[in-house]
A and B are shown apart, each in its own frame.
Chain A
């Protein structure tokens, strides 16, 4: 599932089922970029294998992991890896808007400033964009209209 592009990927995208592959394909359809994310699924994997798969995906020097669910096993694996790699950023609950902003910002912003700070800033901005994108359209005032946790 790793892209064939010559540039190393900039983030790992991980989740249940085809979540990561699906979001990556949506990113590619919109931006034409298929070299930004290394994708992985936890389907059929033990906790141990999920950690191994994620470790392998991170070996290329990736500093950001996007996952689907706070309670997910990919999220837990990423948090475990943060213990040995404190510079690792984990974003959980990711959506397409977050990834699109990340894709458009990561190269421009990271190349001209100090790498670590810039990645953190780009990731934080992308999260804000993703949060703003999660909205209810239609009748307002409905109780519980916010997205599920």
Chain B
């Protein structure tokens, strides 16, 4: 399973991802799935500049990412797939399930969904609207394991504990 992590993080490529996860997991490529970034060469250059030379970065909108997913899963190197928001990950999970039912996305990592008007605090690094909560529950109901975990050394917090607030903020 060369895609080690399917992560939702509104900062996309940043220190926690490249160094915090990248080093211990020996990550060699990042798949950044974001419709806006995929349409902007300037944004892509910005994110590419942030990664060390031994790490490759690929940019896709959701449609292209669904089509390319099987190829990344077959890659011998280890990779991380990133989306900047919950809805993008939801569309990706559903698209992959429809396109390649034998290779569904089975786990999703909540890595950073930060404060914004309309969102409620769930964890130090997870704030959700009611719609986002529903989307995460729907993912889980379809058999996807959703946990929150900012860095590898932290304990993964199951979605139920995130949503109930039991995990604390």
Q: How many angstroms between the C-alpha atoms of A80 and B107 in the bound complex?
A: 32
B115 contacts A83, CB within 8 Å? no
Of the candidate stretches B8-16, B60-68, B156-164, the one touching chain A is B8-16
Q: Is the interface of B mostly helix, strand, loop or mixed?
A: loop
A76-B125 in contact given A46-B114, A49-B115, A83-B42 (Cβ < 8 Å): no
Q: How many angstroms between the C-alpha atoms of A59 and B19 in the bound complex?
A: 31
When distances are taken between beta carbons in the complex, the residues of chain B under 8 Å from A111 are: none
Does A129 belong to the interface (CB within 8 Å)?
Answer: no
Q: How many angstroms between the C-alpha atoms of A50 and B14 in the bound complex?
A: 12
CB distance from A23 to the nearest CB of B (A): 16
When distances are taken between beta carbons in the complex, the residues of chain A under 8 Å from B50 are: 70-72, 75-76
Interface size on A, residues (CB 8 A): 21
CB distance from A38 to the nearest CB of B (A): 20
Does B141 belong to the interface (CB within 8 Å)?
Answer: no
Does A112 belong to the interface (CB within 8 Å)?
Answer: no
Does B124 belong to the interface (CB within 8 Å)?
Answer: yes
Does A48 belong to the interface (CB within 8 Å)?
Answer: yes
When distances are taken between beta carbons in the complex, the residues of chain A under 8 Å from B18 are: 71
A-B contact pairs, 12 of them (CB 8 A): A42-B11, A42-B14, A44-B124, A46-B11, A49-B114, A69-B15, A70-B49, A70-B50, A71-B19, A72-B15, A79-B46, A79-B49
